[in-house]
Amino acid sequence: MQYKGNARVEELSSLLAGESPRCAVIVSAAFFDETLAALLGDVTERPFAVRIKDALAWGLLTQDEHDDLQVLRQLRNGFAHDLRVKDFDAGASGQIAAFRLWQTASRALPLDRVITSTFHQLLYVVGVIGFRLQHRTRPASKLGALPEPPITDIKAWPPVTDL
């Protein structure tokens, strides 16, 4: 799956091309950790979980994005702490299939006919969040969770053009 339309998201796409599920999860989590740090203006190292929570409080994430990034963080930790796991087991596949953004999109669009693997479901959600974050800046005060955009907003729900 290729992401087009933003240099940072295109960079992520190139980093994920041809990688294993383990690498895709770890690289995606690192990408979002770095992106949230920049959006939050972090100058010190902080845990990814804290950045996700703070990004929600500052109005940089929707609740669904927050929840899916927390799952991505958990998946990253699972891969990082077990050297022998390279692919998605049944538990990880279930977590990815339950991503809130995937559930919303696949209910509204015929995505399950095009995106049939757990790996591509992960890449779809990573792409959606990546595209959304390119349009966000930190507000002057904490606003809480952003509203989830309608499925018809193609800036928030980019079309899948290539697997």
Give domain status of residue 147, yes or no.
no
Give domain status of residue 85, yes or no.
yes
Give domain status of residue 150, yes or no.
no
Contact predicate 101/62, CB 8 Å: no
What confidence tier does 66 reach under pLDDT thresholds 50, 70, 90? very high
Give domain status of residue 149, yes or no.
no
Contact predicate 132/10, CB 8 Å: no
Which two structure tokens, joined as six digits, stand for 160?
């899948």
How far, rounded to the nearest angstrom, does the alpha carbon of residue 13 sit from its chain's CA centroid? Answer: 12
The total number of structural domains in the chain stands at 1
Which two structure tokens, joined as six digits, stand for 13?
């796409």
- Residue 159 identity (one-letter amino acid): P
> What is the reported pLDDT for 1?
65
> What is the reported pLDDT for 161?
60
How far, rounded to the nearest angstrom, does the alpha carbon of residue 97 sit from its chain's CA centroid? Answer: 13
> What is the reported pLDDT for 6?
75
Of the two residues 41 and 83, the one the predictor is more confident about is: 41
What confidence tier does 116 reach under pLDDT thresholds 50, 70, 90? confident
> What is the reported pLDDT for 162?
59
Give domain status of residue 92, yes or no.
yes
Give domain status of residue 124, yes or no.
yes
3-state secondary structure of 119: helix
**CATH number reported for the structural domain that contains residue 38 in this entry:** 1.20.120.330
Would the pLDDT of 144 be above 90? yes
> What is the reported pLDDT for 82?
87
- Nearest-angstrom CA–CA distance, 39 and 126: 17
What confidence tier does 21 reach under pLDDT thresholds 50, 70, 90? very high
Average pLDDT over residues 11-18: 88
- Nearest-angstrom CA–CA distance, 91 and 105: 21
> What is the reported pLDDT for 62?
98
Give domain status of residue 97, yes or no.
yes
146 - beta bridge partners? 62
Would the pLDDT of 101 be above 90? yes
Q: How far apart are the first and last CA of the chain?
A: 4
Give domain status of residue 95, yes or no.
yes
Supply the range of the domain harboring residue 36.
Answer: 7-133
